[in-house]
Amino acid sequence: MANNTVTLHRILVASPEKVFRAFSDPLAYAAWLPPYGFLATVHEMDFTVSGKYKISFTNFTTGNAHSFGGQFIMIEPNKFIQHTDKFDDPNLQDEMITSIWFTAVSCGTEIKIIQENIPAVIPAEMCYLGWQESLEKLKKLVEPEINDH
């Protein structure tokens, strides 16, 4: 995994609008983003170009938390999001760039995620494993079609 970059790809049986909303709605984002065993708190999320966000993940077992935040660089509704990520931990000062593409396909949405410049002390394969768990939770959020009456 060269240059501490991870690339992920999934097909979800849900519309691009619904999948995009899972990234842009703070309540939805907190529900699927943290890997298993963690809870997320979205402290701030100004989902606009140049808008900032701040999130913390809390380990449910130990209660330890770490936080990170960044800024939205580009937003193209239902098609593309790019944002920075930076951990508050002074030992993890690299600024990551995360890019997400949403493409309509015959059965739903193809998403592609590239996260670049992951701090060197974080093994890229561990970051990849965390993303896989998050994307499994995303699938369980966006694929069910529940009709309220």
Can you say whether residue 87 is alpha, beta or left, with left for phi > 0 and alpha for psi between -120 and 50 degrees?
beta
Enter the CATH code of domain 2-35+72-142. 3.30.530.20
Enumerate the H helices of 71-119 as residue ranges.
Answer: none
What tens digit of pLDDT does each residue of 3-61 get?
689 999 999 999 999 999 999 999 999 999 999 999 999 999 999 999 999 999 999 99
What tens digit of pLDDT does each residue of 108-147 get?
999 999 999 988 888 888 888 899 999 999 999 999 988 8
Give CA–CA dist 26/17, Å, rounded: 15
Q: What angle do CA 97, 99, 101 make, to 5 degrees?
A: 180
| H/E run at residue 35 | none
DSSP tag of 120: T
Give CA–CA dist 107/12, Å, rounded: 8
